[in-house]
Amino acid sequence: MLSGHLDVVPVEGQPWTSDPFTLTPKGDRLYGRGTCDMKGFDACVLMVAADLKRPIHICLTADEEIRMDGARAVISRLGKDWTRPSLCIVGEPSRMKVVTGHKGYMRIDTHVRGHEVHSSNRYAGVSAIFVAARLVSWIEERDLRNKAEAEATGGAPYFDPGWTMLHVGTLSGGTAHNITALDCHFVTGIRVVPGDDGMRYVREYQDFVRREIEPAMKAVHPDAGVAITWRVGGEPLVREEDGEAERLARRLTGDNGIQVVPYGAEAGLFQAAGISTVICGPGDIAQAHQPDEWVEVSELAKCDAFIAGVIRECSA
């Protein structure tokens, strides 16, 4: 199975110098949103067809950037409505190197519910923003603990950064400057290195909230509190012992190095479903999600040659 995703991240607020949704060639580069992540690979896959003794499945999914629900929908039908492939190559940008590991991803949504009063008497209320600030500080301190431990022990081999990272990406709340905030919402992302248990951070966070935060809130007003919801965004990709996908990709690329990436991808989900999986695709992840995103034509040519090799293997 050759696997790619069709969704892209937004362009609002980015200083593009060309139309992000019109493919713009400049020299060896093709500019446009998603050219690198990962429509270049998708286009290479769709350009080829052949009569094969062993079928090649093409899997193009929606919603990879947010929830990976597209890949989950595909996996739920493999072996039932659709034939389960023996191996999967996910074409995320890797400079056509064979990537055998990536981090998993977990998302925590926190809703702090306070109690509104005039700010001149704020101790009669509960500021959702002040409470959220304490929680965000706990999350940063937990990440710094992981960083210090990784620096002391060497961390996760090959990964940079070599630890499970916690990060708050968005925060919003409050009504006016002179009212204690009734609500505050923020989103935490956890990038989990293979072998670590992402759920332990959820449990530690929940314990901190129930033990250290909520009692003081409810002492002021019983309706104040913290609601925490979480979900696994993606499973980590772990290098397989004598994996079929790795053998094929290395044979076709000649790449025998060990590569892992800090981002998450659908590869971990396919592997968790029992399919031998690696990442190998054109472009550099440094270009992904950036203004004036681009992929090199020469990288797409390497991808074309790689897919031609897959076809040869499946024609034998």
The pLDDT tens digits of the residues spanning 232-272 come to: 889 999 999 999 999 999 999 999 999 999 889 999 999 99
List pLDDT tens digits, range 84-143: 999 999 999 999 999 999 999 999 999 999 999 999 999 999 999 999 999 999 999 999
Quote the pLDDT of residue 279.
98
- Tokens at 215, concatenated: 């009692």
Mean pLDDT of 287-301: 97
pLDDT attached to residue 54: 87
156: left (phi over 0), alpha (psi -120 to 50) or beta: beta
CA 93 to centroid of chain Cα atoms: 13
Q: CA–CA separation, 70 vs 72, rounded Å?
A: 5
Cα dihedral 45/49/52/54 (nearest 10)? 20
CA–CA distance, 44 with 306 (Å, rounded to integer) = 10
CA–CA dist 166, 139 (Å, integer):
6
- Break the chain into its structural domains and give their ranges: 2-102+236-315, 104-234
Q: What is the CATH number of domain 104-234?
A: 3.30.70.360
- pLDDT of 19 reads 98
Q: What pLDDT score was predicted for residue 316? A: 82
The pLDDT score that the predictor gives to residue 66 is 87
Cα three-residue angle 138-175-168, rounded to 5 degrees: 25
The C-alpha atoms of residue 294 and residue 283 are separated, in whole angstroms, by: 8
The active-site residue out of 37, 64, 296, 299 is: 64
Task: Provide the whole-model pTM.
Answer: 0.87
What's the pLDDT score for residue 232?
87
Which residue in the block uniquely carries the two structure tokens 């990288």?
299
CATH of 2-102+236-315, one of 3.40.630.10, 3.40.1550.10, 3.40.50.150, 3.90.1490.10: 3.40.630.10
In this prediction, what percent of the chain has a pLDDT beyond 70? 100
The strand pairing partners of 104, in sequence order, are 192
- Of 294, 285, 240, 292, whose CA–CA distance to 264 is shortest? 285
7, 19, 151, 197: the catalytic one is 7
Look at residue 289 and tell me whether its pLDDT is greater than 80. Answer: yes
**Cα→Cα distances 121→133, 267, 284, Å:** 20, 53, 54
Predicted confidence band at 227 (pLDDT cuts at 50, 70, 90)?
very high
Residue 84 has which token pair? Answer: 């389960």
211 by Cβ neighbours in 10 Å (0-12 / 13-18 / 19+) ranks as exposed
Question: Do the beta carbons of residue 48 and residue 98 sit within 8 Å?
Answer: no
Report CA 75 to chain centroid distance, whole Å: 18
**Residue pair 310/252 in contact by the 8 Å Cβ criterion:** yes
User: First vs last Cα of the chain: how many Å apart?
Assistant: 17
Locus of tokens 């479903």:
273
Q: Do domains 2-102+236-315 and 104-234 have the same CATH topology?
A: no
Q: Is 65 a catalytic residue?
A: no
pLDDT of residue 305: 96
Of the pLDDT bands very low, low, confident and very high (cuts 50, 70, 90), residue 276 is very high
Check: CB of residue 112 under 8 Å from CB of residue 214. no
pLDDT at 56 over 90: yes
For this structure, is 304 an active site residue? no
pLDDT of residue 49: 74
Instruction: Find where tokens 């992402």 sit.
Output: 198
How distant, in Å, are the alpha carbons of 69, 148, 167, 187 from that of 141? 31, 10, 10, 16
- Whether the predicted pLDDT of 51 surpasses 90: no
